[in-house]
Chains A and B, each alone.
Chain A
């Protein structure tokens, strides 16, 4: 079945560092891909999404490009802030199926 694999955390960065969180997927169809963010004590929030190959999702300085050839949807940000400290979940959703979530990657940004 469809699945998502994301890099294990925790990831610790200094403020203004470059962030990459890797995500790869396995799917039989043509899924949409998502990144969700969970701040401490809160539910998950949609961060960005891409619905077809080569689409780039972006929000709040974060970007991810839907790469069909490498089955990847890596999350990037050029300069992280302390407020970006959270858990990030990669997810996919295929036609007729439910959302499949990765295990989550905890990011801590230190001042």
Chain B
């Protein structure tokens, strides 16, 4: 697509429920990133996918968080047994190729998750 698409744009869930967030990157972008942004804060790296390589999961805050990506297409971020501290905007970004300094990231508009 023309840009990075994220869905849903807003999600309100009850504490303890599982949620699934979706990211559709720009076609041809091999690298895909997930970030968390708490209210008024900077970006917190969560996970990075590059092509068919094993993902870099070093930023996932707990085992309640997981993410998948099929090839170079859609990615889903799943949060199990949500907690109130999971409330944040979850941003997805894609890049033409990981590790190449000239390429910037293109971000989606984010999913605002509220856990009540």
Q: Mark A92-111, 1 if CB is under 8 A from B, else 0.
A: 01111111011110100000
**One of B93, B99, B102, B106 near A96 (C-beta < 8 A):** B99
Of the listed stretches B42-50, B62-70, B76-84, chain A binds: B42-50
Whether a CB of chain A sits under 8 angstroms from the CB of B61 is: no
- Give B98's nearest chain A residue, CB to CB: A98
Determine chain B's interface SS by DSSP, over half rule: loop
**Which residues from chain B contact A46 at a C-beta distance below 8 Å?**
104-106
The secondary structure that dominates the A interface is: loop
CB atoms of B101 and A32 under 8 A apart: yes
Contact B101 A51 (CB under 8 A): yes
Using CB atoms, name the residue of chain A closest to B103: A93
**A43→B109 contact, CB < 8 A:** yes
Q: How many of chain A's residues touch chain B, expressed as a range? A: 20 to 34
| Distance between B3 CB and nearest chain A CB, rounded to angstroms | 9
**Which B residues are in CB contact (< 8 Å) with A41?**
109
Assess whether A89 is in contact with B43, with CB atoms less than 8 Å apart: yes
Q: Complex formed: what's the CA distance from A93 to B93 in Å?
A: 14
